[in-house]
A and B are shown apart, each in its own frame.
Chain A
Amino acid sequence: MAFHPAEVSARPGDTIVWINRDFVPHTATALDSAWTSPPLAVGQRWQMIAEATTASEYLCAFHPVMEARVSITSSNSTEEVP
């Protein structure tokens, strides 16, 4: 189980969407606790608007071996994180 892609690049104002396409519930939770999704059941999605301070490593609160990263850049992008 993993976040795909493991690193998402976004610009302030972009919307990042997490979609749970796995078999079990997950969350997306910043390591510094700055932001977190609610528990996402299979098929559920959650989105967040990237801010300049959003860049951080995050993990699944239920499965902390699942780690990923949000990077904030100056280029236009909207990426979905399945």
Chain B
Amino acid sequence: MKTTRRTILVAALAVAVHGSTLSGQELDDAAIAHIAVTANQLDITGAEQALEKSLNREVRRFASTMIRDHQGVIEQAAALATRLGVTPADNHHSRALADQATGVRRRLDALSGEAFDRAYMANEVAYHEAVIAAVEGTLVPNTSNAELRALLSNVLPALETHLDHARMLSHELSGR
């Protein structure tokens, strides 16, 4: 079940950003900015669900960090977009991300206690792996504006730390 969910989420993000029908040329800076903001917002929404449902202190600390860090990235991205005159443009890749996240949230909502904690953290591992791959492999290489490209690159260390943190917690929870 866990493997299936991870495979679905990673595949969804891959289709949304890489896609067999998508080439790098289809992504302009406005679309990339929207995908970046959407990806951050979706992790915030997932973290808010975790704060509603989890009683695990470490899971709650992780979720709080996700909200704090990703909100900060959104604010910096929004400020940069405003200064550059780039209006983030909704696109089917952002919508695909959002649709998949909605499905994940519904599945997590049916869980409680340690089952929720394990599933949430497993999803966070998969999600951050997919986002890192998308940022490195597609978003950064296809961003035209140097400042926007730098912002996306500068977020990567935070994403990698989030992934390390998620893996640590996921491993601890799976050992119980």
| Residue positions of A touching B, CB distance < 8 A | 1, 22-25, 42, 61-66
Contact = CB atoms under 8 A, between A and B. Distances in A.
Given A23-B157, A25-B68, A63-B165, 17 more contacts: A1-B160, A23-B72, A23-B73, A23-B154, A23-B155, A23-B158, A24-B72, A24-B73, A25-B69, A42-B72, A62-B61, A62-B68, A62-B69, A63-B65, A63-B161, A64-B165, A65-B168
A24 B69 contact: yes
Nearest to B156: A23
Interface of B: 61, 64-65, 68-69, 72-73, 76, 154-155, 157-158, 160-162, 164-165, 168
Interface secondary structure of B, over-half rule: helix
Contacts of B168: 64-65
B66 to A, nearest CB: 10
Contacts of B61: 61-62, 64
B122 to A, nearest CB: 17
A25 B165 contact: no
A44 B74 CA distance: 20
B73 A62 contact: no
A59 to B, nearest CB: 11
A63 B128 CA distance: 15
